[in-house]
Structures are given as structure tokens and as C-alpha cells.
Structure 1
Amino acid sequence: METTITLDLSGLPCPAPLVGAKKLIDDLAPGQDLILVSDCAGTRDDLTAWCRVTGHELVEESQQAGGKTAYRIRKMAAGEHRPTAQASLDMRGITCPGPIVEARRLIEGMHSGETLLLVSDCTAAFDDIRAWSNASPQIELVASFPAPRGAYEFYLRKR
């Protein structure tokens, strides 16, 4: 689904960006995106915690001019949950390509249809893992969610 709304709350301190996002995302259909623009340093942490509780997905973030950040948030359907993982790999503190190398090694030993939960705080992981899954016929990126302290959870299913 296409993004239906962009909300620019630059200049407002936290928690205003989170409150604004919550008000607007309630009116979106599941699967639709909201782009929230903010220059408050605490917005990412607020959105990460909120997405963890609500099940919404922080799809991506991108730096904008003037110290602003655009956050793409996808509304999840009521009752939609994180996928079940048969294995997990915590690679916090390891820079890329380390998380992908280790995930590939672990996935090779998994059965078709099984899911690996990969946790990484490498700043390149978000883009690298999406690119890897798009290029690999062996894995599918099922979902990704923000995790505490700048990390992300990636759910990778072996095809």
C-alpha cells in the first residue's frame, strides 16, 4: 500500500512526535505507512518502544536536511504479532558484514520454512540485510522491528 500521510513535527520536543504519530496511525488501514519527520533526538527511542508495544513496524529512517529524520512507520493489523523463530542470533556489537556471514552459516543448517531471528546494531545492517534478502533465493526477510539501543530484529525465513 502507498504512504497515505506525511507528518512533519520538526521543532516540537518529545513526546509530541510520538503523540502525533499515534493519533494519525489510528486512522490508517493495516499495511499503510506514515512518514513522521522530527528533529527531536528522542524520537527514535520513543518510536522503537512504541512499535515494540503496538506491533507497528518502524520500516526505515532517513536523515533529512536541517538535522531532521524521516521515520516510515507501517501500521500492523490488530492481533498481528512477530513471527515465531526456530533459532536466534544476537550479533550486537559486531559490524557488517559479520551479522550476514554468521546468519548465512546458521541458515544453511536450518530446514526450509524455518525462521531465524537476527539481532544487530550495526548501522549498515538495516540496508545490508534487506539487500541480501532481496538478492538471495535462499532466504526471505519476513519482518524487521526496531529493538532497544539502536538495534534491529530481522526475521529471516529459509526458503
Structure 2
Amino acid sequence: MTVAPTPPPDVTLDMRGTHCPAPLLGAKRIVDDLQPGQVLLLYSDCPGTPDDLFAWSRHTDNHVMRSERQPDGSHAYYIQRGRSHHPIPNAVLDLTGVVCPGPIVEAKKLLGSMAPGETLKLVSNCPGIGADIAEWVKATGFALLVTEEIGPGKFEFYLRKP
């Protein structure tokens, strides 16, 4: 059996000296910005990182290709971005902490200035935002492409202008 060589990393992130979940959170932030197929090389000496990374990769389309023990006792993890399950937004509106109906009001303003077919990523932790967004898109004709809870009560919404 021949093992395919690991592609060279496109980005390197050194998280040695940080505690979990920091290595996973750092890796997620970087991998989310990579194109499908690109590789992140993550260095971590936190003993919980392997469990975190492999659990995360099972729930995403990303792949931990290889891990290597380093001479200093840390590990190097080669993480490949999977196929994109989220559209690439043309604009990002992070309204974490803004009370409702603020996120929808601001999203409407920004979407109004965008071209047809463009996508907005709206981030909000406003209680009830999920139901509010669902009703709002029905009433306005905007398309809700993806909804993802990225933390307790914090959501990302991908909205496309018709």
C-alpha cells in the first residue's frame, strides 16, 4: 500500500504554550479562511489537542491528514480544508451583543446596498434571532442559505440577495 505524501502547508500556526481549547479555536479560524484542499500546519503541546481536533474533524468536512511528534515533545498536525459547506460571503456583519431587532435592521441595510446574488454572513447572539431571521427572509425574499450555531446562543447566518 502506498501512502500519498502530505501536501506542503499553505499556513503554519504555532499554538505551543497555549491551553485547550485555544489550539482548536485558532485552527478553526485559520481553516475557515482556507480554500478547499489547502493545508494548515498546527503546532501544539496541549495534551487535549488530538482529541479536540479529531472530534472537530468528524463534525466538519476537514481532515487531519497526519500528526508528527516534534523533538520538543509537541505535535505537528496537518489539517486539510474540506470542500466548502458555507458560501464565501461578499460581506460580513458581526453584530454580537447588539439587541434585536438591530441585527436584522442592519442586515437589511447592508443587503440593500449589495448586488443581486451576493452573500452576507451575519453573526448574532441576539436571543430569538433564529426564528426572527426565518420569518424575515420569508417576508422579504432574501434567501437563508446556511444557519450554524458557532457557540452557545451565537449564530452565523448566510443570506443571499435575490
TM-score by length of 1: 0.51
Contact 1:51/1:146, CA 8 A, preserved across alignment: no
2:117 to 113, 117, 127: 113
TM-aligned CA distance change 1:128 to 1:80, over 3 Å: same
Conserved in 2, the CA contact under 8 Å of 1:52 and 1:146? no
Tell me which of 138, 142, 146 is aligned to 1:143: 146
Deviation at 1:124, TM superposition (A): 1.2
Residue type at the aligned position of 1:99: P
After TM superposition, list the pairs within 5 Å mapping 1:51-66 onto structure 2: 53-54=59-60
Q: What CA deviation, in whole Å up to 9, does each residue of 1:88-120 have, x standing for no partner?
A: 100110111000000000000000000000000
Are 1:81 and 2:85 matched, yes or no?
yes
Percent identical across equivalent pairs? 45
The alignment partner of 1:117 has SS state of strand
The within-5 A match list for 1:5-154 is 50=56, 53-54=59-60, 79=83, 81-137=85-141, 139-154=142-157
TM-score with structure 2 length normalisation? 0.50
Q: Which amino acid aligns with 1:122?
A: C
Instruction: Give unmatched runs, 5+ long, in structure 2.
Output: 1-54, 62-81
Partner Cα separation in structure 1 for residue 59 and residue 92 of structure 2: 21
CA distance in 1, matches of 2:121, 2:58: 15
Residue of structure 1 in register with 2:77 after alignment: none
Amino acid at match of 1:155: Y
- Counterpart CA distance in 1 for 2:119 and 2:104 is 15
Greater relative contact order: 1 or 2 (C-alpha under 8 angstroms, separation 6 or more)?
Answer: 1
Contact 1:52 1:147 in 2 (8 A): no
Q: Deviations over 1:16-61 (max 9, x none)?
A: xxxxxxxxxxxxxxxxxxxxxxxxxxxxxxxxx9599516xxxxxx
User: Any stretches of 5+ residues in structure 1 without a counterpart?
Assistant: 1-48, 56-77
Cα RMSD between the aligned structures?
Answer: 2.5
Any idea what SS the aligned residue of 1:154 has? strand
